[in-house]
Amino acid sequence: MAEISIERLQVEHVATLQQRYEQAVTQAGYDALLISSGAAPLRYGDDHSYVFQGYGPFVHWTGLPELEHSWLLIRPGHRPVLWVYTPEDFWHATPALPQAPWTDLLDVQGMRSRSVPDLSDCGRVAVLGDPACLVGVAADPNPAALLGGVEAARVHKTPYELHCLEVASARAARGHQAAAHTFLAGGSEFDISLAYQQATAQRAAEAPYHSIIGLNEHAGILHYQYYASERPPEGRSLLIDAGYRYRGYGSDITRTYAAPGQDLFQALIDGLEAIQRRVCAAVAPGVDFVALHDTTHRALATLLRALGLVTGLTEEAIVTRGITRVFFPHGLGHLLGVQVHDVAGKPRKAPDHAPFLRLTRPLETGMVVTIEPGVYFIPSLLEPLLAGALGKHINRPMLDELRPCGGIRIEDNLVVTAAGSDNLTRRYLS
Ligand code: GLY
Ligand code: MN
Ligand code: MN
């Protein structure tokens, strides 16, 4: 990673966005596009607001997810204008106007009050953003045709974005290494979260999403949201799904660890890891992501049979009769960018057998995707399986041994390249 070239890459990125967005504006029949940064609403009946992260298209241009009440105006044939809300406020730190080479491509202005830019000379204007922030804006709010064009402009990452996503993976890797160390040293979920934040030097509020840090059964709660401050008497397993946000771009990485002595769970981790690596190796332009998701289910069926957790059924039956979905209920992955679940992944609806899949399109060069197979022991999904006609095919003693370990997910971030893919995560984390 050549740190020295990042400013130049960012200038090229903004110039590319100007072309892409201007084309989207023109194609949708508008003369101008105003983009709102968004703003955190106050909690009801309170004078504190929710944690804020800016609106995707605004962050796509500026890389500044912390700016609120700010605006960007794009007009084909004109320099874009960025209005940054910089109030007088002795309660809070206020943002400085961005100063970097990319800002030379725009007119950057400070705004002392929360106001809406004057659009009277701009012709037919569309505005994109959180509807709560668009009150009083004289423009068409969130027109579908333009929104589609703007989201399409985020699918193929520029060299600058790829650089940012690689840095995001590299920094998160440091946190994952610290987390594994703290787990093996006997730390609680809370201790692990502190170790992760310390190693990444990023506050939880700045991270791309709430880090998922679950010990034992908590590893089987897909988006477990708490951190127990006490280590359970026996720490059997850790699942950590955590990223790092760099210039607006997030990594999304998961690792799962077994404590010494958890040999069966470790064997399952090893088996899933082998699947995950094979699926990563299959990532290439033209690959249909739904088909890749289905391939992963077949590989998981083979693993469950080989370990003896599922018996008396063919691999095909294990998939078609829905058993792999009990153990792996979520999708194989999604697009990644300034949003963790980045936009435009689902031009067609997910198929009925994969309702939670967030990416249903063939892979193309320049996309960045996650590959994140899992195996979980989720009581609400297991109980109907065990109680039904297929229950006799589940090895109960083996399941009982695995259940207290919660589950496994292994997640990397990959760039789709002309030659196949580039795994941004494995370069920094095994
Ligand atoms: N961290 C959420 C996900 O993996 O999609
Ligand atoms: Mn994740
Ligand atoms: Mn993910």
Q: Calculate how far, in angstroms, residue 266's C-alpha sits from the geometric centre of ligand 3.
A: 22
The CATH code of the domain that includes 50 is 3.40.350.10
Together in a domain, 174 and 130: no
Q: Calculate how far, in angstroms, residue 285's C-alpha sits from the geometric centre of ligand 2.
A: 23
Can you say whether the dihedral through the CA atoms of 88, 93, 98, 99 is positive or negative?
positive
- What does the block give as tokens for 55? 């609106």
Together in a domain, 106 and 215: no
Together in a domain, 262 and 283: yes
Question: Where does a domain end: 96, 121, 152?
Answer: 152
Helix (H) or strand (E) holding 346: none
Q: Calculate how far, in angstroms, residue 370's C-alpha sits from the geometric centre of ligand 3.
A: 6
Together in a domain, 240 and 113: no
Give domain status of residue 226, yes or no: yes
Question: Where does a domain end: 152, 177, 208?
Answer: 152
- Which segments of the chain have a pLDDT < 50? 2
Confidence at residue 1, expressed as pLDDT on a 0 to 100 scale: 52
Confidence at residue 402, expressed as pLDDT on a 0 to 100 scale: 98
Query: What letter represents residue 155's amino acid?
Result: V
Together in a domain, 74 and 170: no
Together in a domain, 334 and 361: yes
Give domain status of residue 430, yes or no: no
Give domain status of residue 242, yes or no: yes
Together in a domain, 145 and 216: no
Contacts of 292 (CB under 8 A, 6+ apart): 279, 282, 283, 332
- What does the block give as tokens for 178? 């610290």
Q: Calculate how far, in angstroms, residue 34's C-alpha sits from the geometric centre of ligand 3.
A: 30
Give domain status of residue 39, yes or no: yes
Confidence at residue 4, expressed as pLDDT on a 0 to 100 scale: 54
Domain with 274 in it: 159-423
In terms of C-beta density within 10 A (0-12 exposed, 13-18 middle, 19 or more buried), how is residue 273 classed?
Answer: middle
**342 CB under 6 A from ligand 1?**
no
Closest to 188 in 3D by CA, of 224, 217, 225, 230: 230
Distance between CA atoms of residues 38 and 52, nearest Å: 9
Q: Provide the phi-psi class of 248: left if phi over 0, else alpha when psi is between -120 and 50, else beta.
A: left
Q: Whose CA is nearest to atom 2 of ligand 1?
A: 252
Q: Three-class SS of residue 158?
A: coil
Confidence at residue 413, expressed as pLDDT on a 0 to 100 scale: 99
Together in a domain, 139 and 201: no
pLDDT in tens, 335-387: 999 999 999 999 999 999 999 999 999 999 999 999 999 999 999 999 999 99
Question: Where does a domain end: 129, 152, 175?
Answer: 152
Give domain status of residue 429, yes or no: no
Together in a domain, 76 and 201: no
Q: Calculate how far, in angstroms, residue 275's C-alpha sits from the geometric centre of ligand 2.
A: 17
Confidence at residue 334, expressed as pLDDT on a 0 to 100 scale: 98
**412 CB under 6 A from ligand 1?**
no
SS (H, E, C) 74-143: ECCCCCCEEEEECCCCCCCCCCCCCCCHHHHHCEEEEECCCCCCCCCCCCCEEEECCHHHCCCCCCEECC
Helix (H) or strand (E) holding 357: none
Give domain status of residue 415, yes or no: yes
The CATH code of the domain that includes 379 is 3.90.230.10
Give domain status of residue 1, yes or no: no
**241 CB under 6 A from ligand 1?**
yes
Q: Whose CA is nearest to atom 3 of ligand 1?
A: 252
Of 211, 221, 252, 328, the residue with max ligand 1 atoms within 8 A of its CB, to mutate for a pocket test, comes to: 252
Closest to 189 in 3D by CA, of 223, 233, 234, 240: 240
Q: Calculate how far, in angstroms, residue 252's C-alpha sits from the geometric centre of ligand 2.
A: 5
Q: Whose CA is nearest to atom 5 of ligand 1?
A: 341
